[in-house]
Structure 1
């Protein structure tokens, strides 16, 4: 299976090669990250945190020509794991989409048709809110990748690392926004 994925990924990357464009105008915004601080509602409700575990609202604009789908992630580079922590991974978002509403990661059927949430570092698909250790401030980054393929050639239970690997080889443009969070 991995060999087939690697072959598919290499062919997809080769087909993009010279066509990869820089999209300086590709932007992502989030009303929930606008203040530069993660809103309390986005924090986990567990492990010592008392948030509402609601995924943030995310909007993007000016995707480059040739965009066929998007990947959206929320990542904490400061998690004390040695490799950070993936809080949310959504793949196969159709090119016609320009946003995800607040709560879309909580299984309420608010994702665009065809979009797929894959497991986070907690091992479950869906949004898992931040809960940094007390006394620390972490940097949470929302990333939107515009891809040149319709569907990532990965299994539904793909790890965040595999999603990152395959999506990076098919990326036309990347837009990020970050906010700090602590408790």
Structure 2
């Protein structure tokens, strides 16, 4: 009988967590039409954007959230492993938005937040620049974490941040937009 009670309790806890996770959302006025805005494109490598990180906001983080991780990833980049355009960790739990350009000028990030080097090796946001004729899918992900500080070493890669943050994620929300030139 205890086994059945434990199973029911575990199932109800998982259902409560899934409900909380389903309520967690991220939005971006810069991704609202499903297309990457020109300002979010790179200012180089053949692209003529402004390298401005998009404005984003999130709502309904689950109870127990102690920090957030924000990433912007291009799964379609011709690298064999995609391309991390932006990785920010240790965003305090009381923060629910980042202004446009916050990842481009890291001094605009909230106190305590840490910006990890993107795949171009730069700490901060790097704009989209898909090869001519290709349409890429750019995904912003916000993860609500159970830890205030993500336990990664200085100079951690985006992949390591993804691995460690996944182990500490209470909920995750995404929004995507297409970009081409």
TM-superposed CA distance for 1:155, in Å, is: 1.7
TM-superposed CA distance for 1:108, in Å, is: 5.0
Distance in 2 between residues matched to 1:169 and 1:58, nearest whole Å: 24
Distance in 2 between residues matched to 1:169 and 1:37, nearest whole Å: 31
| Alignment correspondent of 2:52 | 54
Distance in 2 between residues matched to 1:113 and 1:156, nearest whole Å: 17
2:148 corresponds to 1:150: yes
Length-normalised TM-score, structure 1: 0.88
Distance in 1 between residues matched to 2:36 and 2:122, nearest whole Å: 22
2:17 corresponds to 1:21: yes
May I ask how many residue pairs the two structures share in their alignment?
166
- What's the CA shift string for 1:126-167, capped at 9, x where partnerless? 000010000000000000000000000112311000000000
TM-superposed CA distance for 1:59, in Å, is: 0.2
Length-normalised TM-score, structure 2: 0.89
SS at match of 2:108: coil
SS at match of 1:91: strand
Which structure has the bigger radius of gyration? Answer: 2
Structure 1 stretches of at least 4 aligned residues deviating more than 3 Å after TM superposition: none
- Aligned-residue CA RMSD (Å): 1.3
Query: Which stretch shows the higher mean deviation, 88-97 or 120-129?
Result: 120-129
> Which ranges of structure 1 fall in alignment gaps of 5 or more residues?
1-17
Query: Which of these residues, 70, 73, 78, is aligned with residue 72 of structure 1?
Result: 70
The equivalences for 1:90-101 within 5 A come to 90-101=88-99
